[in-house]
Structure 1
Amino acid sequence: MTLPAFLDLEGYGHLLLIGAWMTVAVGFAAMMVALALGILGALAKLSPRRWLNRPAAAYTVIIRGIPQLVLMLLIYYGGTTLLQELLAWSGNEARVDINAFAAGTLVLGFVYGAYATEIFRGAFLAVPNGQIEAGLAFGMSRSRVFIRIRLPQAWRFALPGLANLWLSLLKDTSITSVIGLTDLARQASLIMPPTHKPFTTFFAAALLYLLMTAVSDLGRVWLVRRAARGVKAMA
């Protein structure tokens, strides 16, 4: 694949494309974790049971109050040390290495799951109770009402907020470079010394980030329109 001159970077430009692919991969995986935690966290916060809503409330407050970089370093380096000490205590001298991709995915997913929890909580509250009661009166079980009525409607309400969350997450994947993951930011920092072109290298990386967010925004518009089709038909 032939790259434009300003992206070739003396033959190192293809590494930026590999890094961009890694950025999208870790961002997508982390978003899946965040969505799952967001739905579960929102349901827990809305639950009348204290043993569910209190831990969920603590999760959103604590996680949103700790910098992502600190959590990343804590899980990757601190987690490795902790596991090593636990193994040594049990008499096992095996070396433990936490995978950078897994650590980055879990930390970002865990952090953004706290924000997704608040988005889904508001979305669930926006679903009219009358529709839920109608489903129950029709003979549906609560699980079926949730799957067929509550979750699809909440998804439509949550979609704009989740789209903004994805854009923030995609850019914040750059902090995974501190644990050695070869994402776009990491590749740019590795390319800079041999090329001696810091401005060109990071400018090219910035353009790739801009391209990814622009494509994501087009996807957001398509998803919002698709989710609103039934509402427009009923209007």
Structure 2
Amino acid sequence: MTFDLYGFGPALAAGTLMTIKLALSALCLGLVLGLLGALAKTSPYKPLQWLGGTYSTIVRGIPELLWVLLIYFGTVQLMRNLADLLGIESLELNAFAAGTIALGICFGAYATEVFRGAILAIPKGHREAGQALGMSRPRIFWRLILPQMWRIALPGLGNLFMILMKDTALVSVIGLEEIMRRSQIAVTSSKEPFTFFLVAAFIYLGLTVLAMIGMHFLEKRSSRGFVRSAS
């Protein structure tokens, strides 16, 4: 049996590149939101705790697909109203930006709990040692807390990133031409659904394996000093 992509190979490669760009963009946004959410939930101030808890609860309680649709269509209407207000002919948020925002918000909500757990796992004595040395709170966080938090949170963040990479398929519903959208177009043209969906499955599997290799390298690198001190 000859494996034939009917000339859609370059299109699938372009879709794969778009998926990688979307996943990395959402990852960057999600890490920032997750860190802010974790700092808010571990803050001694009740309003910040409430804000962080509300963010993680609401976002995790709504399916990612709904967030993609709500943000895309909601921002379309918002941009139109803003354009009318400013007297601009056209102002819109494209599918890539909407997908990045939606997936980044969802990733950030789950990362909030991962970062929160990592922060709580750091002994309080480390902070007290920094204070005894006369270090300011920001310096204690950047020099003592953040490196340890990163090492502890990395396995959980790796799992979330692999889920995020597969969730990029959801953005195909708003027209972004990533792997699933390109596969659907190829299926419509060739009438070979099994072939192209199988190819898409192998592409996602390949990306997942690469992400696992990358996460293994990061975990090993981040634990170098810890391993030496424990031996």
TM-score in same-fold range (> 0.5): yes
Q: Are 2:151 and 1:165 equivalent residues in the alignment? A: no
Which of residues 193, 198, 202 is equivalent to 1:203?
Answer: 198
SS in 1 for 2:6: helix
- C-alpha distance 96-105 of structure 1, shift in aligned 2 (>3 A): same
Q: Report the equivalent of 1:107.
A: 102
Q: Report the equivalent of 1:12.
A: 8
Write the deviation string for residues 113-138 of structure 1: whole angstroms up to 9, x where unpaired: 00000000000011111111111111
Task: Give unmatched runs, 5+ long, in structure 2.
Answer: none
| d(CA) in 1 for partners of 2:79, 2:203 | 37
Aligned pairs, number: 229
- C-alpha distance 150-180 of structure 1, shift in aligned 2 (>3 A): same
Q: Report the equivalent of 2:18.
A: 22
Q: Given the two structures, how large is their TM-score scaled by the length of structure 2?
A: 0.95
| d(CA) in 2 for partners of 1:95, 1:137 | 58
Alpha-carbon offset, residue 77 of structure 1: 1.3
Q: Report the equivalent of 1:68.
A: 64
Write the deviation string for residues 150-206 of structure 1: whole angstroms up to 9, x where unpaired: 000000110010000000000000001011111101110011122221100110011
Within-5 A mapping of 1:77-116: 77-88=73-84, 90=85, 92=87, 94-116=89-111
Which of residues 216, 221, 224 is equivalent to 1:226?
Answer: 221
Alpha-carbon offset, residue 85 of structure 1: 3.1
Q: Report the equivalent of 2:42.
A: 46
Q: Given the two structures, how large is their TM-score scaled by the length of structure 1?
A: 0.93
Q: Report the equivalent of 1:131.
A: 126
Alpha-carbon offset, residue 36 of structure 1: 0.4
Within-5 A mapping of 1:184-203: 184-203=179-198
Q: Report the equivalent of 1:56.
A: 52
Q: 2:15–2:179: 8 Å Cα contact kept in structure 1?
A: yes
Which of residues 114, 117, 128 is equivalent to 1:119?
Answer: 114
- Comparing 63-72 with 156-165, greater Cα deviation is found at 63-72
- C-alpha distance 135-196 of structure 1, shift in aligned 2 (>3 A): same
| d(CA) in 1 for partners of 2:31, 2:74 | 26
- Comparing 92-101 with 189-198, greater Cα deviation is found at 92-101
| d(CA) in 2 for partners of 1:11, 1:83 | 38
| d(CA) in 1 for partners of 2:211, 2:80 | 40
Q: 2:33–2:112: 8 Å Cα contact kept in structure 1?
A: yes
Alpha-carbon offset, residue 9 of structure 1: 0.8
Alpha-carbon offset, residue 214 of structure 1: 0.6
Q: 2:30–2:104: 8 Å Cα contact kept in structure 1?
A: yes
Q: Kindly report the root-mean-square deviation, in angstroms, between the aligned alpha carbons of the 2 structures.
A: 1.3
Alpha-carbon offset, residue 93 of structure 1: 6.1
Which of residues 32, 37, 41 is equivalent to 1:36?
Answer: 32
SS in 1 for 2:68: helix
Q: Are 2:135 and 1:140 equivalent residues in the alignment? A: yes
| d(CA) in 2 for partners of 1:220, 1:78 | 35
Q: 2:79–2:92: 8 Å Cα contact kept in structure 1?
A: no
Q: 2:29–2:101: 8 Å Cα contact kept in structure 1?
A: yes
Task: Give unmatched runs, 5+ long, in structure 1.
Answer: none
Alpha-carbon offset, residue 82 of structure 1: 2.9
